Amino acid sequence: MYYIKEAGIRRITEVDGVPCAEVEVHPGAADDPQLLVYVARTSGETGGEGYEIKRLIRNDADLALDWYDNSLHSAFEDVTAEAFTNTALYTAEQERGKFLHEVLGYGNLRQEIGGRLQKSDK
C-alpha cells in the first residue's frame, strides 16, 4: 500500500480531451516515488458524481539535478497500466479504487477538485 504524506492540486489540465486535476502526491515511505495523479469527474451508474484516475505518472525527478519542472524527460514515467495489479486479497481495479479513495480523502482534496473542475467547465 502507498502511504500518502502530502497531496495537493498542481493545476487543472486535460488528458485525452477530459478536464482533470493534476494532483501531486508525496510518499510517506522513503522508497516510494512521488506521483502525479490525473483525476477526472465521472458519473456513476446511479447518477451520482464520482471521480476516476485518468493517468498516473511516477515522478523520479530529483530537484537537485532537475532544478526546473520539466515533464518532457525520462524522470516522468506513465505507470497507469502497471501501477495496480491483482493480489491475493484485491483485484487491480479494487486497488485502484482504494488508492483514489485515499487521495480524495487527503485533507479536503475532494472538495477542492470538485470546485476547480467545475470552474474549468465554465
* Residue ranges per structural domain of the chain: 4-121
What are the tens digits of pLDDT across the range 15-32? 999 999 999 999 888 888
Please check the confidence at residue 122 and state whether its pLDDT lies above 70.
no
* 36: its cell numbers: 502525479
What are the tens digits of pLDDT across the range 58-71? 977 655 555 555 55
DSSP code per residue over 49-65: EEEEEEEEEEE---TTT
